[in-house]
Structure 1
Amino acid sequence: MSRKMKAVHGVIGGIIVFFLGLGGYTIHKFNQLPQNTPKNYRFNGNKNRPLVVCVGDSNTQGSLAFNYVEELPKLLPSNKFEFVNAGINGDLAYNVLERIDEIVACQPDYIILMIGSNDIIATLNKLNEMRYERKKHLPIKPNVEWFISNLTEVIQVLKTRTQAKIALVSIPVISEDLLSEPFQRSIKYSEEIRELANREGITYLPLNEQQVEYLLKHHKQPGEPYDSSLLVYFLPAFKHYVLKKSWDDISAERGLSLTVDTVHQNSKAARMLEQLVLSFLEH
């Protein structure tokens, strides 16, 4: 091989390594847990303020879109509450039940529980089902009855083992195509969540209903459909962490109203959630 060809191969190899490094950095960032996890609270948290634990999936963890938990303290009088982020990317209600002990151990005064997006996404096609069964170690095929069963058990454990006031949040919209199956399932599952909150005598926060109403008023059809490709999540994260674009700019580039990628929330959607949570905490 000539010296020139070796140089070309070296440059190409360097470029490949560079982009692999950027990809690895992106994956590291969107998997990174927040600082205020339940574990960190138990060891280092301020125990002199009322504790709010926000429980959920990636829309709570906040590394794949706007972090509403991070914003809540800024909207309240200084040092009024201590906030813990108990969100884990990709979690279903079953996974929350599996890690319920770490939430109970914090002995929160308030719990914000928003879970169910992945319970829906796991049912949308066979590939999604297989991904979730493998990655999240699901014992059965996901379905709405199993979701409600797990969520009921989560609530009953929290009611029994803590003194917390509990708010159950309906599921953020999935896709912005109002006629699509993912969107309609977010409505159906949210109706089940509302009925569960009534049965258990806990507060219900109607996020799904507010988002649906907003899209009906402000969004043109056909809206952006849900896409099951993992690139749909990776590309916005790459733009945010590597190219330093805001989540809202990324959302606007795709012509989306409430989401970054049809699943994760932009700031407008997060503001809706924040106001619901604030009304619960200040009631």
Structure 2
Amino acid sequence: MKKRIIIALGLLLASALGLTAVAGYLTFVRSAENPPSEACGRGPASGPVVVAAGASMTQGTLGANWVGALRERPEYRGYAFVNAGANGDTSGGLRERVDSDIVACRPDAVTILVGANDVLDGVPLAEYRANLGAIVERIKAKTSARVALLSLPPIGEDLGSPRNRDLGGYNAAIKETAARVQADYLPLHEQAVDFLRRNGGGGTPYGFGFTTAFAAGAEHYLLGRSWDAVSRGNGLQLLVDHLHLNDRGGAIVTELVAGWLSEGRSAGPDRP
């Protein structure tokens, strides 16, 4: 009997560890759908190429996959959406991979959503601004792509927190950079804040950490809960874990980018 109990406990432990590994892989480790390593460097594409560049909010494995939502829209049939999001990346990291992950894809359009990790890591504003400018200037020098910079959504839904006050400087840098390098500016932050204020949100204290992020991923991938349901469980409206966008938040990005892409469709792709 004792041996059977030990075996049963061992099997339960192995199962728990296995599920933990699965949740961790799906949330943090696996690649985005159609990453540059698979999509680029194979010669000219048959249709327009859109590269979405950034960090985890673009990669879409922890939170809404808004790039995938665009890919599934019937009006973009024939488009190639390349997901150049990388979990944990900063503006400096994206600057280092701009040639391999953006330019090599020969894009017709590029969206850039990066900077939350710069805020959390305390990257100086001047450095962040320089990185953004260098990224866009490199894209414009090497391709004929239209470029759009998205402002950063709130970090945590307490809009008056010191962290969100710091975020204001980074968003100002995004808007200034877009004007200086002649890129388009998409007001993600403004629309997210407006949503929170209209729906009585914006006061939940910040609580992001690895445990919160892992728990959110486990709820979604192992229990089948939607990202919006995970948010509600954490007392949030747009963010699943105080940092990453839920499906409501992802829909804001999808609509902003879709509207921007539609503005340029009449001209058609300009492919050398």
TM-score, shorter chain, exceeding 0.5 = yes
Shift of 1:45: 8.8
Q: Distance in 2 between matches of 1:54 and 1:183?
A: 24
Partner of 1:183: 164
For the 8 Å contact 1:211–1:269, the answer to whether it is kept is yes
Task: Please state whether the residue corresponding to 2:17 is helix, strand or coil.
Answer: helix
Letter paired with 2:22 = Y
Q: Which residue does the alignment assign to 2:222?
A: 242
Please show how residues 268-279 of structure 1 align to structure 2 within 5 Å.
268-279=248-259
Over 3 Å counting, the alpha-carbon distance change for 1:44 and 1:267 in structure 2 is farther
- Report percent identity of matched pairs: 34
Judged with a 3 Å threshold, the aligned counterparts in structure 2 of structure 1 residues 266 and 88 are, in CA distance, closer, same or farther, namely same
SS at match of 1:105: helix
Q: Does 1:39 align with 2:19?
A: no
Q: Give 1:226 deviation, angstroms.
A: 2.3
Query: Which residue of the partner structure matches residue 211 of structure 1?
Result: 192
SS at match of 1:242: helix
* 2:214 partner letter: F
| RMSD value, Cα | 1.8
1:25-104 matches, cutoff 5 A:
25-30=22-27, 31-42=29-40, 47-102=45-100, 103-104=102-103
- Pairing 1:23–2:4 present: no
Shift of 1:229: 2.3
Amino acid at match of 1:54: A
Shift of 1:72: 0.6
> Partner amino acid for 2:200?
H
Aligned residue identity for 2:97: R
Unaligned runs of 5+ in 1: 124-141
- Alpha-carbon distance between aligned partners in 2 of 1:186 and 1:245, rounded to the nearest angstrom: 30
Match of 2:124 in 1: 143
User: What is the TM-score with the length of structure 1 in the denominator?
Assistant: 0.87
SS at structure 1 position matched to 2:89: coil
Number of corresponding residues: 261
The 1-side partners of 2:63 and 2:224 are apart by 13
Structure 2 gap ranges (5+): 264-272
Are residue 196 (structure 1) and residue 196 (structure 2) matched?
Answer: no
1:138 aligned residue: none
